[in-house]
Structure 1
Amino acid sequence: MADTDTYKGPIKSVNNTAPGIEPVQKGYKITKSDLYSDNTGRSSETGQMLRYIIRSGVVSIELQYEGTEAEISSIEALYSSNTLSVQFRDNGEYVTKSFYPSDRAKDVESLKNQGRVRFAVSLVEI
């Protein structure tokens, strides 16, 4: 990986470890969501939405990697902890937040003849 002072990739570190390979093109997506109270819903009298936000801007990151079996094994291990401190690029700056890994998927068959493996992971902010 490049010098961390000049590095411009999407994921700079996971638990203070550089991933070693970049996500594939279009393999990096950030979603920001709001968490609502159980009391959120429509008024039965007016039909208007009554939103009670508990927390705003909760980040989810979708990542897809492609590499050799050894590279993907390393990436899989990197994202295997219950809690991850991830330094990622958002709006041109690096931000560090805590996540848990949600869904993880590995596609071995589609690239088998090329000696490559695909791995996808979803991260959800804690």
Structure 2
Amino acid sequence: MPCYPSALTQVFVNLFLNAASALQSRLDHQSAILHVSATRDPRTLNITVADNGCGIPEEEIRRLTDPFYSTSDTPDNLGLGLSICQTILRHHGGTLAINSALGQWTRVTLALPLEADGVRT
């Protein structure tokens, strides 16, 4: 698949850090799950990163990719991670979709085109 490996690495690091943060909120850390899967159809590679952490309120999901928006209350979190991830996916001709159930799980799905014309320089 044509891509910018270092840019996609940044996407995965951010998604894993977000999932780890969500899993920290679980009272029973032994049941914390981070699941990564991939499927492929003739035109797209779909990669899913899912966790059973704290989940995200539905009204906040739309804003998660807005620059400087964050659900974290830590002062060192600038709220740029998912905004940058979305930009990277767009440069690859792909998409980023977020689904969640508050208090139960979050799933982020990346859809990346398999054709070379998807990567935009």
Identify the structure with the greater strand proportion. 1
TM-score range, shorter chain: 0.3 to 0.5
TM-score between both structures, scaled by the size of structure 2:
0.35
TM-score between both structures, scaled by the size of structure 1:
0.34
Greater RCO (Cα-Cα under 8 Å, separation 6 or more): 2
